[in-house]
Structure 1
Amino acid sequence: MSETLNWTSYVDTDSSTEHDRLTLLQEVFDGASQELFDRVGVRPGWRCLEVGAGAGSVARILADRVGPANVVATDMSTALLEPLAASGVRVLRHDVTADDAPGEFDLIHSRLVLEHVARRDVAVRRMASWLAPGGVLLVESATPMPELSGDPVVGRALAAMAGHLGRSVGTDPRWARTLPLPLEEAGLVDCTAEGHVVPARGGSAFARWMIATHRLVEDDVVAEGAMSADEFAHAYRAYSDPAFVDYTWLTIRAVGYRAPR
């Protein structure tokens, strides 16, 4: 049974609204992912797997570097990945915790996915086993820090969002803070991790992505009584105001290698 829990049932992943949210995510985080690829030396001919490919930008970046035929892009919903398939990338509907290995790879990458997967440590172990000797696993995972918000209402909205996703989807907002331990426990070597904080400047792509992500849960959170609609509106005004800056979103990027034979 699929263990990549309820994200695709909780969110309409084929909708234009979700496409727009993922487009903002790509604008914010693609640069950091490319820096990781530079660091590990991704080069033509590498066999690459993108787990949880979303709207496809990272798989497209990899295809430009290694050739489309060398890239596999997987997700639980692949409707937004059709342009990739047309370009020669192999696109698969695939559950990283349950489905057969989609191949052997020199690079496996996953971004802002594993924190939403119920059996995330199983997923890491499986991905590690799909690496060729000397291959590298890159995991980018997020952990919100609402306690650091300069606006208490904005902080409560972020905490309410994280709490609701934990109850409804199985998200663990603190799992990223254990990296790189899950990579080491999966048998990988030379594991490292680092944190990167993106400022939520009002009106920026990141702030607009935060609004769009809060809107995913707003109705349910209000119905539960955890936040009011007025409080969400206050948070959205803050995220729209260029005079507002907040540092409450930590992305942890972990790297681990399969030992060469």
Structure 2
Amino acid sequence: MSDTLSWATNVDTKAQVEHDRLTLLQEVFDPFSARLLDRVGVAAEWQCLEVGAGAGSVARMLADRAGAANVTATDMSIDFLEPLEATGIRVLHHDVTVDEPPGEFDLIHSRFVLEHVTGRDEALRRMASWLRPGGWLVVESATPTPELSSEPAVGRALSALARLMARLVGTDPVWARRLPVALEEAGLTDCDAEGHVVPARGGSPMARWLVATHRVIEEPALASGAVTADELAAAYAAYANPSFVDHTWLTIGALGRRPT
């Protein structure tokens, strides 16, 4: 997004390795996303917007519930979203921080987007203004907790990831912990939030996704001294060991409704 510092220079958004990372992300986090969508009761004919659609799984969930013709999927890189168009889903290259509203919606959802946007609170207010009266905004945001790691090398690697993403991209790794207050400040009502932790068991999709995410900033992390090669190797070994388990990635799911 244009309001980030340099996301596109750190991630090749068209590379197969990034598609593979997003596929793992979907496998790990889709069940929680589906539960949040069911909680607000997405129904047939709802106009739905997925902001930062990634590889498209949540847009497909929305299409299953509301009908494909009622779903808009946006991202700053839409190469992985092209297959959605064949299903009838509308796909747009769109920057939530500056572009014109893509419509009015009964449901707007984003996952792991706003923590990477330096103007995140303003972007959230913009999204809230695109809701129809009574419409729901559902935001999922991540906040790593390296201090809870059972393995020191994993904790240091995760801390380095958070620091480097803050410096290189503008990520705020603790913004999620303010939810749902940010939704209330955006003028929404009936706001609520819940936390969700997926255990990172060695060899699991969660552990493999964390390794893939670390590799996104591995080179600058090593170059800056934020983490050593030995520490990263130890962290990767732990993530591959079935006897290892960690609970260091907290996802906050928050929702709020535009007053009628």
Question: C-alpha offsets along residues 116-154 of structure 1, whole Å, 9 cap, x if unaligned?
Answer: 011000110000000000000000000000000011110
Q: Using the TM superposition, name which of 220-229 and 126-135 deviates more.
A: 220-229
| Contact 1:195-1:250 at 8 Å conserved across structures | yes
Per-residue deviation, residues 24-69 of structure 1 (Å, max 9, x unmatched): 0000000111111111111110000000000000001111111111
Residue 203 of structure 2 aligns to a residue whose secondary structure is: coil
Q: Residue 237 of structure 2 aligns to a residue in which SS?
A: helix
Identity %: 68
Q: 2:5·2:168 contact (CA, 8 Å) conserved in 1?
A: no
Answer yes or no: is the 8 Å Cα contact 2:192–2:254 preserved in 1.
Answer: yes
Alignment partner, residue 251 of structure 2: 251
Aligned 8 A contact 2:201 2:246 in 1: yes
Map 1:138-217 to 2 at 5 A.
Answer: 138-217=138-217
- The CA RMSD measured in Å over matched residues stands at 1.0
Name the counterpart of 2:27. 27
Residues 144-167 of structure 1: per-residue CA shift (max 9 Å, x gap): 000000111100000000100000
Question: Counterparts of 2:50 and 2:8 in 1: how far apart (Å)?
Answer: 18
Distance 1:249-1:120 versus aligned 2 partners, 3 A rule: same
Q: Secondary structure at the match of 2:77?
A: coil
Distance 1:68 1:254 in 2: 24
Deviations 1:79-135 (A, max 9, x none): 000000121111011110100000000000000111001100011000000000000
Amino acid across the alignment from 1:43: A
Report deviation, 1:2.
Answer: 2.7
Contact 1:197 / 1:250 at 8 angstroms: preserved in 2?
A: yes
**How far apart are the structure 2 equivalents of 1:159 and 1:241?**
20
Deviation (angstroms), 1:258: 0.1
Please state how far the C-alpha of 1:9 moved relative to its aligned partner. 2.9
Letter in 2 for 1:90: R
Match of 1:219 in 2: 219
Aligned counterparts of 2:118 and 2:127: Cα–Cα separation in 1? 15
Could you tell me how far apart the structure 2 residues matched to 1:198 and 1:46 are? Answer: 30
Normalising by structure 1, we get a TM-score of 0.98
1:8–1:76 Cα contact (<8 Å) kept: no
Q: Secondary structure at the match of 2:217?
A: helix
5+ long unaligned stretches in structure 2: none
| 8 A Cα contact 1:180 1:191, kept in partner | yes
User: Taking structure 2 as the reference length, what is the TM-score of the superposition?
Assistant: 0.98
Q: Is the 8 A contact 1:75 1:94 kept in 2?
A: yes
Number of residue pairs matched by the alignment: 260
